[in-house]
Amino acid sequence: MNLMAEKIKEVARTLIPVVILVLLLCFTIVDAETDVLVRFIIGSVLLLIGLSVFLWGVELSMNQIGEHMSNEIATSKGFTKIAVLSFLLGFLISVAEPDLLVLGSQIETASGASLGSTIVVYVVSFGVGVMISLGVFRLFKDVPYNLFMAITYAVIFVLAIFVSEEFLAISFDASGATTGALTTPFILAISLGLSKVKGGKKAEENSFGLVGTMSAGPILAIMLMSIITRQKNIQGTAQEFAVTEGIISPILRAIPSTLLESLVALLPIVALFFFFNFKKFKISKEELSGIIKGLIFTLLGLTIFLTAVNTGFMDMGRIIGMSLANMSPWILIGIGFVLGLIVVLVEPAVHVLGEQIEEVTGGHIPIKLIRMTLSLGVGIAIALSMVRIVVPEVKLWYFIVPGFAIAAFLSFFADPVFVGIAYDAGGVASGPMTATFVLAFAQGAADMTPTANVLIDGFGVIAMVAMAPVLSIMLVGTVFKHKKRVEKHAIEEKHVATPIIKDDKMDGSMLHDCIVAVVNRGFAEDVVEIARGSGAGGATILHGRGTEEHEDERVRIPLVNIELQPEKEIVWIITRADVSQAIAQSLLSNSMLDEEGEIALFISPTDAMVETFTTAHKAEYNGNKT
């Protein structure tokens, strides 16, 4: 039950500030009917319960399923099997994503059913499946992630020339909605599993980026659908918004159909897992029982969540958007900005992301700066979305194309770890609140603005929210890499080399030194090869992921309780005392070991246990001075 309490706390932190803002507006400047207000409060409670139970179920079931399926992909030898299995996982998990189901119903309503919810969900999921397959092969082939994403978005920008504004807005919104509460932890679990099995020098970098890869799939899929079907504009009239009467009856009426919808959405991915478990995994009864329990909670939580969203929560968002648009464009833009600040500041995954970046940078990038950057970025993104609604001349592509283009350009200059985190961050920030309340808020504002089009201006807000973290984190990563380079240069100028300390009285009696090199995973063989070239003989390689002393350095992945401690390799070299200094200098002067391997070197006489350092700037390892 501790896990359930944790999930309730996470959801409450996101939900309560939004509820308080809505109540303040309703008791001051927004005139909402009593039925709608009461149903919103009940819907908020149901949303809290439903999303908490859903995330609890995902933790118990989908993460384990993702790990097992990732091992199946990683151990497959055939090209076809890897491609098909990766595609199926991406496709089936997206079909069940709550945020995408909500977006599909919104598109169907706004287009007057000319673009059906089912078509949107399956086309988007197809794009996700394709990009997951490409992302897996990129990981296996060690294609640079920044180059892969730059090419992908270059293709997107070219296709954007040939699609209408409606499809441009919907495609980018689908991208943000796809990376939601179900797909994000599931794909992160797959990404982590693949990086563990593959190993190598880029294991930690490969633990991130697959969520960012999959988020490009919906954009490509919707755009290609528009081009292939030659459907430039969506033909249809938006259904007129009508306030549902009643409080409890609308909720009760929605439960049966929502339960069936949730069951149909989850069934395919569950069937695929049980098929592979019967054929290959054959996991223990205890683990299988836990997964089944988690799946039941996932189904129950998804049903409650969707019921709450469709019967009260989104109605209130739309009514507030309509009311504010009738008052003043400045009030609409201002409330949009405040809403953006609140949504991202209280998003649990954003807090985890900030802590993660602070750990990766060793405290050089404070967590307060990360939160402030993301908060301002998302606040400005929603405010600009409101500007699009009230000013007809301002178009979505004015922001989306330059934003992602600059982010792709900066990816070649940012620290490599930040590139994967940045693209994943877009999915983290555009969570359930954005896909439900904020989207309904934007559509309500567009509906009441004479110069606005609901299909063009009512969508695109999720895309703006998803873009802001990508650009913000990429900027932070670029600044961090530059700062790290400057600091390293300053240290090297200050501390050129400190000679190895040896006692003159020990000359002749001390025949050997022990050199201990600690490097990132995948660099041990390079240490051995370089040491041998300078006169060393053999070496012993050990593996580890930190100790209790370094517990604070673990990397926590957003939305899931997966902790990835930095994996290290330790190389022990016993060598003659007269060549130990030459070996140490050759290791420390190697730029690859210094920058990518993050080598830390220690030397001790084997019969005197006198520990010394070869350079002053290597004396500090993982924040602990030796």
What would the pLDDT profile of 435-465 be if each residue is shown by its tens digit?
A: 778 888 888 898 888 888 887 888 888 888 8
Give residue-wise pLDDT tens across range 486-515.
655 555 554 444 444 444 444 444 467 788
pLDDT category at 361 given cuts 50, 70, 90 is low
Averaged pLDDT for residues 145-157: 89
DSSP reduced 3-state for 414: coil
Percentage helix, strand, coil for the chain under 3-state DSSP, each rounded to 5: 70, 5, 25
Same domain, 468 and 509: no
Co-location of 409 and 556 in the same domain: no
Q: Residue 96 — φ and ψ, nearest 5°?
A: -95, 0
Task: Give the best-scoring range by mean pLDDT among 3-7, 234-238, 460-464.
Answer: 460-464
Q: What pLDDT does 617 receive?
A: 41
For 402-445, the pLDDT digits (tens) are 888 898 898 888 877 778 777 777 766 666 677 778 888 888 89
Q: Which of 31-35, 130-134, 322-326 has the lowest mean pLDDT?
A: 31-35
**Three-state secondary-structure class, residue 568:** strand
Q: What angle do CA 107, 112, 114 make, to 5 degrees?
A: 80
Strand 555-556 vs strand 563-564: parallel, antiparallel, or unpaired?
Answer: antiparallel
Task: Pick the closest to residue 202 from 624, 621, 623, 592 (CA basis).
Answer: 592
Residue 349: pLDDT band by 50, 70, 90 thresholds? Answer: low
Predicted pLDDT at 485: 65
- Please indicate, yes or no, whether residues 519 and 438 belong to a single structural domain of this protein: no
Question: What pLDDT was estimated at residue 499?
Answer: 44
The answer to whether 192 and 106 are in contact (CB under 8 A) is no
Angstrom distance (rounded) from CA 223 to CA 520:
41
- Indicate whether 123 pLDDT > 90: yes
* Concatenated DSSP letters of 498-513: PPPP--GGGTTT--EE
For 548, the token pair is: 């209790």
Q: Which position has the higher pLDDT, 532 or 197?
A: 532
334 and 289 share a domain?
Answer: yes
b/e 192-213 (16+ beta carbons within 10 angstroms → b): bbbbbeeeebbbbbbbbbbbbb
Query: What is the structure's pLDDT at 220?
Result: 93
* Same domain? 25 vs 113: yes
CA distance 272 to 264: 14
* Exposed / middle / buried, residue 573 (Cβ in 10 Å: 0-12, 13-18, 19+): buried
pLDDT (0 to 100) of residue 616: 41
How far is the C-alpha of 466 from the C-alpha of 447, rounded, in Å? 23
- Identity (one letter) of the amino acid at 575? T
Query: Is residue 568 domain-resident?
Result: yes
Return the bridge partners of 571, or none.
517, 541
Which residue would you say has higher pLDDT here, 105 or 547? 105
- The highest-confidence range among 45-54, 65-74, 103-112, 343-352, by mean pLDDT, is 45-54
Residue type, 593: L
> Is the CB of residue 55 less than 8 Å from the CB of residue 10?
yes
Cα–Cα dist 474/410, whole Å:
6
Domain total in the chain = 2
Identify the H or E element spanning 151: helix 145-160
Of 485, 511, 534, which residue constitutes the final position of a domain? 485
Both 551 and 434 in one domain: the answer is no
Percent above pLDDT 90 for the chain? 7
- Would you say residue 494 lies in a domain? no
pLDDT of residue 623: 42
pLDDT of 398 higher than 80 = yes
Length of the chain: 626
Q: Are residues 472 and 526 in the same domain?
A: no
Q: Which domain holds residue 166?
A: 2-233+248-485
Structure tokens at 384: 């600009």
Residue 545: pLDDT over 70: no
Check pLDDT > 70 for residue 166.
yes
517 Cβ neighbours under 8 A, 6+ residues apart: 527, 531, 570, 571, 573, 587, 599, 600, 601, 602
Answer yes or no: do 385 and 452 share one domain.
yes
**What separation in angstroms does the CA of 100 have from each of 4, 103, 124, 156, 437?**
24, 5, 9, 20, 14
Q: Which of 452, 485, 518 is the last residue of a domain?
A: 485
Same domain, 319 and 198: yes
Whether 219 has a pLDDT exceeding 60, the answer reads yes
Residue 148, domain member (yes or no): yes
Q: What does the alpha-carbon distance between residue 304 and residue 468 come to, in Å, rounded to a whole number?
A: 30
Q: Which two tokens stand for residue 198?
A: 């593959």
| Arithmetic mean of pLDDT, 551-571 | 52
Does 265 have pLDDT greater than 60?
Answer: yes
Q: Which of 186-190, 288-292, 524-528, 577-581 is most confident? A: 288-292
Residues 405 and 518 in one domain: no
Q: Does 491 fall in a domain?
A: no
Task: Please provide the DSSP assignment of 69-111 as one string.
Answer: HHHHHHT---HHHHHHHHHHHHHHHHHT-HHHHHHHHHHHHHT
Taking 90 as the threshold, does the pLDDT of residue 534 lie above it? no
104 in a structural domain: yes
- Indicate whether 493 belongs to any domain: no
If pLDDT is split at 50, 70 and 90, which confidence band does 605 have? low
Model confidence band, residue 476 (pLDDT cutoffs 50, 70, 90): confident
Determine the Cα angle at 601 with ends 597 and 605, to 5°. 155
Per-residue pLDDT band for 126 (boundaries 50, 70, 90) equals very high
Rounded CA-CA distance 380/10 in Å is 24
Of the chain, the end-to-end C-alpha distance in Å amounts to 41
Q: 36 and 93: one domain?
A: yes
Assess whether 471 and 574 both reside in one domain: no
Burial of residue 332 (CB within 10 Å: 0-12, 13-18, 19+) is buried
Lowest mean pLDDT among 129-143, 223-237, 257-271, 452-466: 223-237
pLDDT score, position 296: 93
Is residue 318 over pLDDT 90?
A: no
Q: What is the pLDDT of residues 84-102, one digit of tens each?
A: 888 988 898 888 888 888 8
Look up residue 221 and give its amino acid.
A
Whether pLDDT at 557 is above 60: no
CATH code where residue 520 lies:
3.30.70.120
For residue 498, is it within any domain? no
Counting Cβ atoms within 10 Å, is residue 467 exposed (0-12), middle (13-18) or buried (19+)? buried
Nearest partner of 455 among 169, 239, 177, judged by Cα:
169
Q: How many helices (H) and strands (E) does the chain have?
A: 26, 8
Which of 458, 485, 512 is at the close of a domain? 485
φ and ψ at residue 396, rounded to 5 degrees: -60, -40
Mean pLDDT of the chain: 77
Q: Which residue has the higher pLDDT, 405 or 205?
A: 405
pLDDT digits (tens, 9 = 90+) for 273-295: 898 888 888 888 888 998 999 99
Residue 615 inside a domain? The answer is yes
